[in-house]
Amino acid sequence: MASFLTSRISILPMFSVLVCSLIALSAANLNQDFQITWGDGRAKILNNGELLTLSLDKASGSGFQSKNEYLFGQINMQLKLVPGNSAGTVTAYYLSSKGSTWDEIDFEFLGNSTGEPYTLHTNVFSQGKGNREQQFHLWFNLTADFHTYSILWNPQHIVFSVDGTPIRKFRNLESKGVPYPKNQAMRIYSSLWNADDWATRGGLVKTDWSQAPFTASYRNFKANACVWSSGASSCGSNSVNSNSWMSQELDSAGEEKLKWVQKNYMIYNYCTDAKRFPQGFPPECSMA
């Protein structure tokens, strides 16, 4: 992401090193950052914390969550998706708060029939309201190797990126009456589960259980983020000055790359689905 993002902050204060020591900056041991939450042994942290795997079979899927809650951050994880015939499966990787008016930032990977592309599904919820789906068929095989999926979440916008290339931006348009996730701390969650009632071609292609167990892999987690604990943020009042990601915007090259991805690889955009919004598109669609 760094190659496409510039900061409005040109000089970091000398005390930034001290403040940054309070920020979550994790990269090595997944045991330190995550805990398995369900799956009855189907989720595993391996290789001294370097690798995490989720598995799905006919009896159950599996999942994990972060030990920390975050309120703004730049979060990266490398994923390698279920190979082969993964039709009917969904690998969800997302940030979410709790409660009936939750916030959420979603990557969801919808499985495919062998030879067909994975569908990358994205969504943003604010105060319990979602319905902001954009979907992509990316320019590489998501199952052949690990790729980095990133979320930049700051007070200005949310940027979804893949291998440093921005694919989606959701701006803070509270001034126009659009709720924006900014007050609720969120954990990172991931799960691998069966959704063959809708995931592949609208549920027409069912899960082939002869291919089970299905496995997705995770590594190289890094969160340069504000940890929320006991009602307070680790970033403190000087976070804008001391953390460049807190004020990062897409530069002109990033904006062009974003347009290129959306022109060539986006397969669904809620902001162009007139049948779904016969009374008019959501207000953010005209301001994107």
- Residues forming the active site: 104, 108
Residues contacting residue 156 through CB under 8 Å, at least 6 positions apart: 171, 172, 247, 249
User: What's the rounded Cα separation, in Å, for the pair 103 and 121?
Assistant: 17
Do residues 284 and 38 make contact, with C-beta atoms less than 8 angstroms apart?
no
At a CB cut-off of 8 Å and minimum separation 6, what does 222 contact? 25, 26, 27, 75, 76, 77
User: Which positions ≥6 away from 251 have C-beta within 8 Å?
Assistant: 4, 5, 6
DSSP 264: H
3-state secondary structure of 180: coil
Place of tokens 């319990």: 128
Q: Which two tokens stand for residue 197?
A: 């009632």
